[in-house]
Amino acid sequence: MSGNTVSSAILLLVIGNALAIVSDVFIKLLEPGAPVFQFAFLRSLLTLVLLLPLLGQINRDRLLEGVGLHALRAHIHLAGLICMVVALTTLPLASANAVFYVAPVIVMVLSVVFMGEGLRPLSLLAVFSGFGGVLVILRPMEFNLASLSALGTAFCLATAAVMVRKLPREQSTVHKLFLSYLLMLPASLVLALLEGAPWRLEVVWSALGSAIFILGYNTSVLMAYRHVEANQVTSAEYTGLIWAIAVGWIWFGEVPDLWFFTGSLMIILPLVLIGLQRRRTPVPPRQAMAAEVTAADSGKSQPD
């Protein structure tokens, strides 16, 4: 699959989102009370190791260009990863992922606040419907650390995605990924040491499995968006929620209720309608490229 046709790009996104859910499963399989900071450090370190064969794609002449922005984004990434671990280990798999999907809605809001972009009526509907969907899924009486962690993950995903637009365009996605994980290491190591938990082999295996499959997701997304405009295929990203429902139901015995389906539709349906609207409307090349970079570099499960 080269991703050079719309159908193959959609298939790549469907497969990629399945890989992302497998990454989530490796996290969810952690035992209750597992060392969160230790996991974050190990996944960052192991991801760097997995990226070593791709170092040739790093522009060494611009190695540290924009390092301050990269550092800020890396620590937002770290916060999102920590929130994601808490959310996935405490919430049903599908519920956590449904809240993660509110990230594109938060991107719209942040783009208005920090980029001065306007919202069309359908985008405004997506904002209100998306946040309403989160309330329906989590329900105010059930707000707790797990719920807030899921929202924190979505916020970090969105912030990292918006920041991609400010990173040097001459740097490849591998370059950005490498710097992000490299700059995460010191803080994540300090947090792991302060956590004081004994180093456990099962956490290493969980971090390794999660890292491998989320990189598989990123690779699939890159291939999907390389030859096809983002607005033609981006709705296929939401198949990840279908995978989450299926895996959560079959593997973990998590049966979604009516609240979940209602809230999920409130989040995803307006975003799909926006995608269909953009498919009918020609997208200026600069906007299309920005959308592809944002989609490929942020990822659904973490702001990679």
Could you report the per-residue pLDDT of 103-161, keeping only the tens digit for each? Answer: 888 988 888 888 777 778 888 888 889 889 988 988 765 668 888 999 999 999 999 88
pLDDT bin (cut points 50, 70, 90) of residue 280 is low
Q: Does 51 map to a domain? A: yes
Q: Does 303 map to a domain? A: no
Domain hosting residue 63, numbered range: 6-298
DSSP letters, 173-234, are HHHHHHHHHHHHHHHHHHHHHHHTPPP-HHHHHHHHHHHHHHHHHHHHHHHHHHHS-HHHHG
pLDDT bin (cut points 50, 70, 90) of residue 1 is low
Per-residue confidence (pLDDT) for residue 142, from 0 to 100: 61
Q: Does 92 map to a domain? A: yes
Q: Are 145 and 153 in contact (CB under 8 A)?
A: no
pLDDT bin (cut points 50, 70, 90) of residue 279 is low
Q: Does 233 map to a domain? A: yes
Decide if pLDDT at 270 tops 90.
Answer: no
Per-residue confidence (pLDDT) for residue 211, from 0 to 100: 95
Q: Does 72 map to a domain? A: yes
Other CB atoms within a 10 A radius of the CB of residue 1 amount to: 13
CA distances from 60 to 64, 131, 178, 179 (A): 8, 42, 12, 12
Q: Does 304 map to a domain? A: no
The string over 233-245, giving b where at least 16 C-beta atoms fall within 10 Å of a residue's C-beta and e elsewhere, is bbbbbbbbbbbbb
Per-residue confidence (pLDDT) for residue 287, from 0 to 100: 38
Q: Collapsing DSSP states into helix, strand and coil, what is residue 259?
A: helix
Average pLDDT over residues 16-28: 95
Decide if pLDDT at 292 tops 70.
Answer: no
Q: Are 168 and 103 in contact (CB under 8 A)?
A: no
Higher pLDDT, 288 or 280: 280
Per-residue confidence (pLDDT) for residue 298, from 0 to 100: 43
Decide if pLDDT at 289 tops 90.
Answer: no
Q: What is the DSSP letter of 66?
A: T
Q: What is the pLDDT of residues 24-57, one digit of tens each?
A: 999 999 987 899 999 999 999 999 999 999 888 8
Count of domains forming the chain = 1
Q: How many residues make up the chain in this entry?
A: 304
Comparing C-alpha atoms, which of 135, 161, 287 is closest to residue 221? Answer: 161
Q: Does 41 map to a domain? A: yes
Q: Are 23 and 301 in contact (CB under 8 A)?
A: yes
Per-residue confidence (pLDDT) for residue 234, from 0 to 100: 72
Q: What is the pLDDT of residues 163-192, one digit of tens each?
A: 888 888 888 888 988 999 999 999 999 999
Q: Are 137 and 95 in contact (CB under 8 A)?
A: yes
Average pLDDT over residues 190-216: 95
CA distances from 173 to 289, 303, 304 (A): 13, 12, 9
Q: Are 260 and 186 in contact (CB under 8 A)?
A: no
Average pLDDT over residues 231-256: 86
Q: Are 23 and 209 in contact (CB under 8 A)?
A: yes
Decide if pLDDT at 3 tops 60.
Answer: no
pLDDT bin (cut points 50, 70, 90) of residue 214 is very high
Q: Does 273 map to a domain? A: yes
Per-residue confidence (pLDDT) for residue 231, from 0 to 100: 64
| Phi-psi domain of 295 (left: phi exceeds 0; alpha: psi -120 through 50; beta: other) | alpha
Helix (H) or strand (E) holding 295: helix 285-298
3-class SS shares of the chain: helix, strand, coil, % to 5: 80, 0, 20
Decide if pLDDT at 294 tops 70.
Answer: no
Per-residue confidence (pLDDT) for residue 299, from 0 to 100: 44
Higher pLDDT, 175 or 237: 175
Decide if pLDDT at 291 tops 50.
Answer: no
Q: What is the pLDDT of residues 83-94, one digit of tens each?
A: 999 999 999 999
Percent with pLDDT over 90 in the chain: 48
* Chain mean pLDDT for the chain: 84
CA distances from 37 to 20, 74, 106, 213 (A): 21, 15, 26, 20
Per-residue confidence (pLDDT) for residue 107, from 0 to 100: 87
